[in-house]
Structure 1
Amino acid sequence: MTKTHTTSWPVPHAWHLLGLLCLAGGGLAGCTPAADSPAVANTTQQHQKPVAVARGKIEVDGGLLELATAVDGTVQQIAVREGQQVQAGQLLLKVHDEDLRAELSVAQSSYQLAQARHKALAAKLPLLQTQLKRLQAAARDGAADLQEVDNAQAALRNAQSEAEVAQAEVKLAQTKTQQLRERQRLYALHAPEAATVVHLRAQVGSQVHTSQAAMRLLPLRPLRIRAELNESFAGTVQKGMRASVVLDNDSSTALPEARVLRINPMYGPSTLQDDAQRGPLRVVECVLEFETAPGNVRVGQNVRVSFHE
């Protein structure tokens, strides 16, 4: 690792020339990670030298949503298109469910028949109860014999048993119908939250599987910056530190100021930086949040971040 003789903070090998350029322009405002970068827009930082610089990428908080169907099958309907904004619960895709719909139709018919049978049996009970009371009263007055009372009691008990069995059949048919309806919901894919459809991997007539995403959504969440701190800066950048940000391909436009949200405690290989002599660099990932929502930026854009005390 190479260190300059004009400052106490370390500069990574891949950024050596960058550090020299920044330090040589110490009397100028807003030294940025690259020699062709303009001064940052925030006036409070125009007279500060960055204590660290890093490359980063714009991401959405929590990442993209890869959605797969809950069942394997053939796509019957795609209800959205790429680039369309969807709301939570909105239908995205349906899988063919003819066999299930036929089974559900039979279950619904059985449920209706069970309800009708139970209703008919339940309607007999008040009449049988009234008849039994009349016979019991008549038997006390000597106008009816006890055999007739016994027969009426037996008829009421049988009707009550049949009504109870019919009620159990209704509950069973209802449970089966509800289960089939729940299964049917698995054949439809809905948006879990508000988002934009960015990629459709399925089309009508194609096969979908639970192990493969059928579409990708960009959720409507705040944007974040995932920056890669060279190991030389690992101890320099702290949580809550302010940072200025510019687009990597358009350094003339400064983005809103950002703050360090969290720092990964582990080292990892860089995906944005590379040293031609030493190969991939070891970096620590650093996530920053914008203080105000940035405009005209897209997820996946590369940025340059200058950290300030």
Structure 2
Amino acid sequence: MAALVAGCGPSNDAQPANQAASSARAQPARVVAVARGKVEVDGGLLELSPATAGVVQQIAVKEGQSVERGQLLLRLADEAAQADLGVAESELALAQARHKSRQARLPQLKQSLERWRAAAREAAADAQNVDEAAQALRDAEAEVELSQAEAKVAQRKLEQLRALQKRHELRAPEAAVVARLNTAVGSQAQPGLAALVLLPARPLQVRVEINESFASAVKQGMKATVVLDGDAGSATALPEAKVTRISPVYGLARLQEDQQRGPVRVIESVLSFDQPPAGVRVGQNVRVQFHE
């Protein structure tokens, strides 16, 4: 009976085969390269400076605040521009009122001309009366065209001054978080000097420096494991990533250096995450393993 029970169970040959298949499935992909990298945002941080020099009059945001596209960040003092803008608005209003007044006269002059023409047909008026009425209408129409042109010039002047006023404002070019303020109310702001730094709401990625000895092993589309570069006991694994770009040129390492051999030649590679990583900050160092 014991022999019969033993014969009904799995064969001795089947057990090692199943174990081998299970072991093969559990075996991780082979690591072909390792590298150090840094977390960054796609496209980099946004360093913003005003279009014109001036004294900071207002700062409308704080560090860590989320902002939307077009939101006011800061404003420079612009008393002279505001005064010019007020004058231009008054000039436009005056030009539009003059044009409206002159245009309102046309129906009456046209009606008067038609009456004189009708009277001339009935021999109740002479040609001179008709000519005078026609000339009066032509003069009025010319004045309307002139006033319309004056109103357009005033409108263009106002638009130009409004555009100049916008040069005293700094607004968010896209949705972002204010990472750093480099100025304060009363400070002098200059074009080309970053007054604010924004962290745009774009996907995070990893820029990796691949040692030249591993350069040929890393391919575009290759999977990679990314771990925050901390103490061995506190290393945090991030979502899986893949290689999206590989630089075609060599450069010098900025994240690592061989003290004995000097600067290390590397190739930069950019990795994108399969899923957005949580709790990760731009600028954090990472370790990367590339898999076949």
Q: How high is the TM-score relative to the length of structure 2? A: 0.88
State the 1:253 CA deviation.
Answer: 2.1
Q: Does 1:248 align with 2:229?
A: yes
Aligned equivalent of 1:38: none
**Which structure 1 residue ranges, 5 or more long, are not aligned?**
1-42
- 3-state SS of the aligned residue for 2:290? strand
Within 2, Cα distance between the matches of 1:97 and 1:303? Answer: 46
Supply the AA of the counterpart residue of 1:106. Answer: V
3-state SS, counterpart of residue 278 of structure 1: coil
| In 1, Cα distance between equivalents of 2:119 and 2:256 | 103
Is 1:133 matched up with 2:114? yes
Give the superposition deviation at 1:165.
0.8
Equivalence for 2:207: 226
User: Is residue 45–residue 308 contact of structure 1 (8 Å, CA) maintained in 2?
Assistant: no
1:179 aligned to 2:160? yes
Q: CA RMSD in A?
A: 1.5
Q: Give the count of matched residue pairs.
A: 267
> How far apart in 1 are the matches of 2:188 and 2:202?
31
Deviations for 1:125-179, whole angstroms, at most 9, x for unmatched residues?
A: 1111111111111112121122222221221111111111111111111111111
Q: Counterpart amino acid of 2:236?
A: T
Q: Which has the higher strand share?
A: 1
> Partners in 2 of 1:45 and 1:228 — Cα distance?
30
* Structure 1 or 2: more helix by fraction: 2
**Distance in 1 (alpha carbons) for counterparts of 2:194 and 2:42:** 20
Larger Rg belongs to: 2
Match status 1:120 vs 2:72: no
Partner Cα separation in structure 2 for residue 44 and residue 130 of structure 1? 97
Number of the residue aligned with 2:283: 300
1:271 has 2:254 as partner:
yes
**TM-aligned CA distance change 1:190 to 1:44, over 3 Å:** farther
Residue identity over aligned pairs, in percent, reads 58
Tell me how far apart the structure 1 counterparts of residues 26 and 160 of structure 2 sit (CA, whole Å): 62
- The alignment status of 1:81 with 2:33, answered yes or no, reads no
Runs of 5+ consecutive residues of structure 2 not aligned to the other structure = 1-23
Q: Give the superposition deviation at 1:44.
A: 7.3
Match of 2:48 in 1: 67
Q: Deviations over 1:22-55 (max 9, x none)?
A: xxxxxxxxxxxxxxxxxxxxx9786344111101
Distance 1:206 1:273 in 2: 39
Instruction: Decide which moves more: 48-57 or 278-287.
Output: 48-57
Alignment TM-score, normalising by the size of structure 1: 0.83
String of CA shifts for 1:173-215, please: whole Å, max 9, x gaps: 1111111112212211111111111111111111111121111
CA shift, 1:250, in A, is 4.4
